[in-house]
Structure 1
Amino acid sequence: MIEDATTREETPVGLPSRSLLSVAGLVAGATLLSKGMGFIRQALIAAVYGSGPEYSAFGVAYILPGFLLILLGGINGPFHSAIVSILKKQRDPATDDPARWLESISTLVGCLLLLVTLGLWWGAEWVVRLNAPGASPEVHALAATQLRIMAPLALLSGLIGIGFGALNAAEHYVLPALSPLISSLAVIGILLALGWTGIPSLIAWGILVGAVAQWLAQVPLQIRLGLGRPRLRFEWGSPQVRAVGLLMVPAVISSGMIHINVYVDLFFASFVPGDRTIGNLGYAQLLVQTPLGILSNMVLVPLMPLYAQLAGDGARWPELRQRIRQSLMITAILTLPLSMLLVALAEPIVQVAYQRGRFTAEVTQEVAALLMAYGLGMSCYLLRDVLVRIFYALEDGATPLRISGIAIGLNALLDFLFLRAFGAPGIALATAGVNLVALIWLGIRLQHRLQGIPWLEMGRSLLPLLGITGLAGGLSGWLWNHLRSLQLLGSPLLTAMVWSSLAAALGLGLFAVGAFSLRIPEMDWVAAQIRNRANQVLSLLIRKLNRSRD
């Protein structure tokens, strides 16, 4: 399906074929379902634990296991990207049996990560004190217990990431996109059954059970597709294993450095009095990461195999340059209006999402301030991620590695300065600043590698689009501030839902009108595809209605 998409000229500007769009739609639908369940999970956690020491302790304990689960087991992570790149470039699948080297990679990675698992379990107290030195003794004790429970995530994350990379290379996208749904269901089930007890470690047990289920869910499909099975194989000297290792090691270190910034943020957050900022950062990050995860999978999952194919053939680099423009422009078009809404309507978004049970109005104000700061850097985060994956497709993990290493130091400096100047929201602003610097630097390095990328053309479209975004966001915020005092049926929740929805509709409508007026090819093409899909759905409904009448 992907191969066909790269050999047909279906649009004059090099935009994705219908098959590529179908993959993006399929992945987006599955990811939306997973993220929706993740939001329900987080809302339940907020109601049960609020923003007290229990949830902050989980945030401290989850730093390393969660870091490994996202880094190694996540879609578009380095394990996933490396496996996709090597499998898509494999010249002769008939002689280069993928099952053998995939099993060898799994064995090698499993042995290494088993040592990490044992290290996390043994050194739990030391790890949590290093993660959050400014937290209270109560938070440290709770966090150490939860870290021991979640230590096996280190081993499971590697197996999950390798399996999902193999499945995506075989053009099976739904299961990897639905995988987080399994984890969320495990946490929700445990909280619904035992949340009334208030036991702090319930979330940790739910995360562990969910990770085991994620791995087990992919095994039958891998076996059926001939992509290996759970068994030990020690053929670590094969060309494919070496190729994956050469790409994976710098990619892991590079992506790991990006996630180390999360640790740096929590390190500084632990010194904010009250043991609440760590938990509040987690609540705000989920509201940003939910739409980002959906958009990331829409853009990167179908395009990553395509990037790998185009990058492997120098004669096809002109098409690669066009695909780079396409992915960056679509990413900006999709993220800017979401960023606008998160900044302009942060308070009602947090209120509707979390404010119930132990999550009070005071906590809503604190999380809303963090959400606004994260929203400012939302577009830079995903645009940077797109560029990093292009370097991986070019089998260049060194450039993102160097930039990520310097970004860690910059993040620590900005955290220190901005925390003193702006309080807790300064941590989120520092993240936005680091992503912006990394984005610019990656763009400069990519231009040196692939000369001819139409940066000026993109800039002429994006600058007025930024202005339109700011205007639409300002009007949305103005409308919300004028309507919020008009209580509906005496319900603050209903009031926030109705008036913020109206303000959001106004902002999105203004953004759409302004964006269409700029005549951006990607905007026109996406709109045309949406209209075509809507017409197809409408025609299908009409046919079914006519059949039922007959």
Structure 2
Amino acid sequence: MSKRSLAGIAGIVAIATLISKVFGLVRQQALAAAFAIGPVADAYNLSYVIPGFLLVLLGGINGPFHSAIVSVVAKRKKEEIAPLVETITTLVGLALIGVTLGIIVFADPLIGLLGQGFSETPTGLESRAIAVVQLQIMAPMALFAGLIGIGFGTLNAADQYWLPSISPLFSSVTVIIGLGILALILGRDLMTPEYAMLGGIVLALGTLAGAFLQWIVQVPALWKSGLGRLRLRFNVSDPGVRDVLKVLGPATFSSGMMQINVYTDLYFAAYIPGTLAALGFANLLVQTPLGIISNIILVPFLPIFSRLADPQHWPELKLRIRQSLMLVALTMLPLSALIVTLALPIVKVIYERGAFGEDAAVIVTSVLMAYGLGMFVYLGRDVMVRVFYALGDGETPFRISIVSIFLNAVLDYFLIQLLGPPGLVLATVGVNVVSLFAMVVLLDRKLNGLPWLSWSRPIVLLTLASGLAGVACWLSRWGLEAWVGSQNFWANLVQLCGASAVGLGVFALLTVALQIPEASLLVARVRQRLGR
């Protein structure tokens, strides 16, 4: 077991991730104020798809690189870790240099493939030209992403959590600084068409600089801990290398297959101007709480899952799976209720300033409501994926991902015609529901039975409690809007704070009445910390 308690790890990760997410939110506010949902924002959201995907896939906490490294390194002696990490870093680094060069050379056709709908309008053609340049600038993020994922997985396995959780703020800080300098130089001219390309270049350079900083700050920590240095090593005969690759290959392809769903969404979104930017702004508002809760749950639980992978420990493993799913339900379900009912004041408070006006707020609100509906299944699916990784099985999530690609394409085609931009998000929610159900069924067989019926009862009750909390939240918002209005920042902030407090209070009372063990444990830990 880890030297730190589960609660201690979760606390470290929560604080660091919260700080990082706050900076990410400020970055999106700066983007919204500068470019709203115009061609520069559309271009950036399109060009960032590939480097952003690689940063999440390869360098992200809970991504396949991170998961594969943790699942293997957590079981090995410290003196065996450095040669293993150096070999994996060498092999992955050489491969990703080739990927970087390929992105630079083929940036134009890649953007053309992702944003085919851009060619339908003059604004779209402008966005495409900007996106090509941005993608070429951000191409080296492919290399940095792999190095980040390996390093952070190693640090987590060695019981170091602060640096991996807080480091994403560097990407936000560098973008904010770049936009701030540009705004000081250009002033209001920043939003004019003739400076669109310059704005796009600054965004790309800031993003690349942030990825570089994420990697470079981990190097001294790895050296100091004796977990590997910057040296070439080709010790491919090490059994640990084979163990990592056994999980890494299928897990990377699995996550890559899931990203094809994102490409499918972008293909349809590019035909509706402003949709790409709206998806990006709404997604950030959902990913902020998702990222915090995901890191709190998955980061401390993944090493535990890995240490309980032996069949003799499966009874405890099942208990830990239940705990993680209950924590997901306790956090995500009430947040979903609040986001769906308070989507408009949330968008207005966060984004409505500068170039971001009422029309943009309406579009982003509709997309945000759709995202809010799927928060539980999104994170629940991630928990189940990590259980499979801990068991050394990357093939099952990969196979499910392949089926998901076709299902997502079909749902995208029909739902965007019926519902517009929110239909793309609801298609993803549907895919996650099917994936979560399939993983529960297959894990039930793999672990010789799961008490999923007893697990489902508290989740259903928490869903009903969240629904009631959502109703209370909506009624409170309606009353506050009648009292203070909704025409300015402070009125929307009063709505948001007041209605949220009512909704969360109702959910808390109902949860206590349901007497769910994990809820009682969570309350006890909070009281203990407040009492210190």
Measured against the shorter chain, the TM-score band is over 0.9
What is the aligned partner in structure 1 of residue 114 from structure 2?
Answer: 131
Shift of 1:400: 0.3
CA contact (8 A) 1:461 1:520 kept: yes
Shift of 1:4: 5.6
1:70 aligns with 2:49: no
What is the aligned partner in structure 2 of residue 285 from structure 1?
Answer: 283
What is the aligned partner in structure 2 of residue 528 from structure 1?
Answer: 524
Task: Using the TM superposition, name which of 444-453 and 205-214 deviates more.
Answer: 444-453
What is the aligned partner in structure 2 of residue 441 from structure 1?
Answer: 438
**Alignment partner of 2:158 out of 170, 175, 180:** 170
What is the aligned partner in structure 2 of residue 142 from structure 1?
Answer: 130
Separation in 1, partners of 2:33, 2:353: 6
AA aligned to 1:174 is: W
What is the aligned partner in structure 1 of residue 306 from structure 2?
Answer: 308
Superposition pairs for residues 454-465 of structure 1, below 5 Å?
454-465=451-462
What is the aligned partner in structure 2 of residue 358 from structure 1?
Answer: 355
TM-score (norm. length: structure 1): 0.92
CA contact (8 A) 2:480 2:494 kept: no
Q: Indicate the SS of the match to 1:484.
A: helix
Separation in 1, partners of 2:465, 2:85: 48
AA aligned to 2:127 is: V
What is the aligned partner in structure 2 of residue 250 from structure 1?
Answer: 250
AA aligned to 2:520 is: D
**Alignment partner of 2:484 out of 487, 508, 512:** 487
Aligned residues: 515
Superposition pairs for residues 424-439 of structure 1, below 5 Å?
424-439=421-436
What is the aligned partner in structure 1 of residue 25 from structure 2?
Answer: 39
CA contact (8 A) 1:108 1:236 kept: no
1:262 aligns with 2:245: no
Separation in 2, partners of 1:93, 1:200: 45
CA contact (8 A) 2:62 2:298 kept: yes
Shift of 1:293: 0.3
What is the aligned partner in structure 2 of residue 110 from structure 1?
Answer: 93
Separation in 2, partners of 1:365, 1:246: 46
TM-score (norm. length: structure 2): 0.95
1:211 aligns with 2:211: yes
Q: Deviations over 1:191-216 (max 9, x none)?
A: 11113533222111111000111111
What is the aligned partner in structure 1 of residue 196 from structure 2?
Answer: none
Shift of 1:377: 0.4
AA aligned to 2:454 is: E
AA aligned to 2:126 is: E
Separation in 1, partners of 2:331, 2:102: 41
AA aligned to 1:534 is: L
AA aligned to 2:267 is: F
Separation in 1, partners of 2:308, 2:3: 13
What is the aligned partner in structure 2 of residue 89 from structure 1?
Answer: 75
% identity of equivalent residues: 48
Shift of 1:20: 0.9
Superposition pairs for residues 535-546 of structure 1, below 5 Å?
535-536=531-532
AA aligned to 1:226 is: G
Q: Deviations over 1:462-518 (max 9, x none)?
A: 112211111111221122133224337x96110000122111111111111111111
What is the aligned partner in structure 2 of residue 543 from structure 1?
Answer: none
Give the ranges of 4+ consecutive aligned residues of structure 1 lying more than 3 Å apart after TM superposition.
Answer: 2-5, 485-488
What is the aligned partner in structure 1 of residue 173 from structure 2?
Answer: 185
Task: Using the TM superposition, name which of 469-478 and 244-253 deviates more.
Answer: 469-478
Shift of 1:258: 1.8
CA contact (8 A) 1:325 1:453 kept: no
Task: Using the TM superposition, name which of 24-33 and 251-260 deviates more.
Answer: 251-260
- Calculate the aligned-residue CA RMSD, in Å: 1.3
1:344 aligns with 2:344: no
Q: Deviations over 1:375-427 (max 9, x none)?
A: 00011000000000000000000100000111111111101110011111101
AA aligned to 1:369 is: S
Separation in 1, partners of 2:304, 2:260: 29
Separation in 2, partners of 1:4, 1:370: 42
CA contact (8 A) 1:103 1:232 kept: yes
Separation in 2, partners of 1:391, 1:56: 36
AA aligned to 1:36 is: V
AA aligned to 1:98 is: I
What is the aligned partner in structure 1 of residue 144 from structure 2?
Answer: 156
CA contact (8 A) 2:170 2:213 kept: yes
Separation in 2, partners of 1:515, 1:410: 35
What is the aligned partner in structure 2 of residue 10 from structure 1?
Answer: none
Superposition pairs for residues 12-27 of structure 1, below 5 Å?
19-27=5-13
CA contact (8 A) 1:52 1:279 kept: yes
AA aligned to 2:224 is: R
CA contact (8 A) 2:43 2:130 kept: yes
Unaligned runs of 5+ in 2: 119-123, 191-198
Q: Deviations over 1:105-133 (max 9, x none)?
A: 11110111111100110111100010010
AA aligned to 2:436 is: L
Task: Using the TM superposition, name which of 237-246 and 121-130 deviates more.
Answer: 237-246
CA contact (8 A) 1:195 1:202 kept: no
Q: Indicate the SS of the match to 1:200.
A: helix
Q: Deviations over 1:294-349 (max 9, x none)?
A: 000000101111110011x2211110011011111111111111111110100000
Superposition pairs for residues 385-534 of structure 1, below 5 Å?
385-487=382-484, 492-534=488-530
What is the aligned partner in structure 1 of residue 195 from structure 2?
Answer: none
Separation in 1, partners of 2:465, 2:245: 45
Separation in 2, partners of 1:443, 1:288: 24
Q: Indicate the SS of the match to 1:171.
A: coil
What is the aligned partner in structure 1 of residue 35 from structure 2?
Answer: 49
Separation in 2, partners of 1:20, 1:523: 16
CA contact (8 A) 1:321 1:452 kept: no
Shift of 1:368: 0.5
Separation in 2, partners of 1:3, 1:207: 34
CA contact (8 A) 2:57 2:256 kept: yes
